Amino acid sequence: MAQSSITHLRMMLQGYEQQLLTARRLVKFHVRHRLAAGLDPQDPDPDVNRRRMVEKIAKELYETVVFTGSDNPVVEEIRRELGKNFGQEVLFTYPPGGTLCMVARTADGSRPLTEEEQRRMRPVLWRLTRQKVDESTLDKILHK
């Protein structure tokens, strides 16, 4: 039993060693890539910082603006794109004392979306929000 534990520990340490070697290779590759591009290898990668900033702003927009209500033009663009994706206009309503209610507006009138429809729609809403921030809002902020 003790031999089995030692063998298991050795295999685990070998796995960690391989992970460390891979990490070192990736760091060396990153440094060479940045040097070849004429960049300082010590500076943080701007793409990583940009993605992090996009995620942060999109999350704020998604949670605060979209789900608490706003006449914000960015929110309206996201809502229109969401409607195009699902083939029907989607509205966000906030009944008194209630939480977000997603409503579909069709030729037959308005109806609340089912739980299943909302479940399918939320990842698309998140993707559209992130995409919209990446395309427009962040560029405007960074280039002022």
Per-residue pLDDT band at 67 (split at 50, 70, 90): low
Q: Which pLDDT value is given to residue 143?
A: 53
- In the chain, where the domains are located: 1-43, 44-144
Percent of the chain's residues with pLDDT above 90: 2
Q: What is the pTM of this model?
A: 0.59
Nearest to 125 by CA among 108, 107, 100: 100
- Give me the mean pLDDT over the 57-86 stretch: 79
